[in-house]
Copies of this chain bind each other. A is one copy, B any other.
Amino acid sequence: MSTALQVFVDGESCSESWTQDRGLQFGDGLFETMQVRGGNVRFESLHRARLTLGCSRLAITADHAGIWKQVAEQARVQGQALFKLQLTRGGATARGYAPTGSERTRVILSVFPPPSRAEIPAEIHVVPLDNVLGENPQLAGLKHCNRLEQVLARASLQGKEAFEGMMSSSSGRLISGTMSNVFLELDGGLVTPEVDRCGIAGVLRAVVLREARVAGIAVQVADISWSALDRCTSMALSNARIGLLPVNRVAGRPLAINAQLRALSARIETLEQ
């Protein structure tokens, strides 16, 4: 075992274990951003399923029952909130990238104010971004903590007067927004991009697909070319904070509000699970 002999943080000697957390060192962890409403985590089972899948893919062991018990208790205490639940592989037990298997998973639950309608502009503008998403099927879909691509993409949105920016895969497909999944009306049908090579399999995206099935609305999951941004007639964004949000303009071009997406949005707003 070769851990650090000594650590200095901003020039001061520091013996705290967080400095060697693999989450901090390598982004070696996962997170869930969840809306808490009426003392419950909305779509809890879907968040739990994605976190469990992520832990399995990254070989991070966790007491899932205990974690979700704590989350549920805290949701009851808070009532209305936004929760960020982060799991890291924990403190490094050896130097270097390889996990040893003897790390102790760290659970960080952060409580934020509940999402407010006031954070969402009346007109939703979306712009295309040059920032790309690297393709890695092993990591695709997961909400892991390697998020520099999103950080750089959000930074490049600054000054652009847009609510969201669209990102492509390195091979030129339309994938998602910087913090949301995307649904398009294209050639008269509804589609959302595959997220099997890059992108995040959003919980709200799963809810939209589920509720569309329930309502008999066809939504295809497909590879979508970047040029769909020029051709789509409607668009909506989804994430746990904004729900399913219709878009008014893409790259300045006005869009129609698709009646089926609007109906799904209203339906989803009423759902707890």
Select one of B24, B86, B148 contacting A139, CB under 8 A: B148
Bound-complex Cα distance A203 to B7 (A) = 23
Min C-beta distance of A60 to chain B, whole Å: 10
Beyond known contacts A7-B111, A18-B24, A97-B151: 5 more, CB 8 A cutoff: A7-B110, A25-B147, A26-B146, A27-B147, A28-B151
Bound-complex Cα distance A16 to B106 (A) = 15
The main secondary structure of chain A at its interface with chain B is mixed
Bound-complex Cα distance A59 to B133 (A) = 19
Q: Which 4 A-B pairs have the closest CB atoms?
A: A134-B134, A27-B27, A98-B154, A146-B146
Q: Chain B residues with Cβ under 8 A from A98's Cβ? A: 151, 154-155, 157-158
What is the interface of chain A, defined by CB distance below 8 A to chain B? 2-11, 16, 18-29, 31, 58-59, 70, 74, 81-82, 84, 86, 88, 95-99, 106-113, 131-139, 144-155, 157-158, 170-171, 178-179, 197-198
Q: Known: A5-B112, A152-B58. Is A28-B147 also a contact (CB below 8 A)?
A: yes
Q: Are A150 and B11 in touch, CB under 8 angstroms? A: no
Q: Chain B residues with Cβ under 8 A from A3's Cβ? A: 112
Q: Chain B residues with Cβ under 8 A from A26's Cβ? A: 27, 145-148, 150-151
Select one of B21, B113, B132, B155 contacting A24, CB under 8 A: B21
Q: Known: A136-B170, A150-B97, A155-B98. Is A112-B58 also a contact (CB below 8 A)?
A: no
Select one of B24, B95, B144, B155 contacting A23, CB under 8 A: B24
Q: Are A9 and B107 in touch, CB under 8 angstroms? A: yes
Q: Chain B residues with Cβ under 8 A from A20's Cβ? A: 110
Q: Chain B residues with Cβ under 8 A from A133's Cβ? A: 134, 136
Q: Are A112 and B95 in touch, CB under 8 angstroms? A: yes
Q: Are B135 and A2 in touch, CB under 8 angstroms? A: no
Q: Are B155 and A99 in touch, CB under 8 angstroms? A: yes
Select one of B22, B74, B138, B147 contacting A97, CB under 8 A: B147
Min C-beta distance of A238 to chain B, whole Å: 16
Q: Chain B residues with Cβ under 8 A from A136's Cβ? A: 132-134, 149, 170
Bound-complex Cα distance A198 to B154 (A) = 21
Q: Chain B residues with Cβ under 8 A from A179's Cβ? A: 96-97
Q: Are B148 and A111 in touch, CB under 8 angstroms? A: no
Min C-beta distance of A129 to chain B, whole Å: 11
Min C-beta distance of A67 to chain B, whole Å: 9
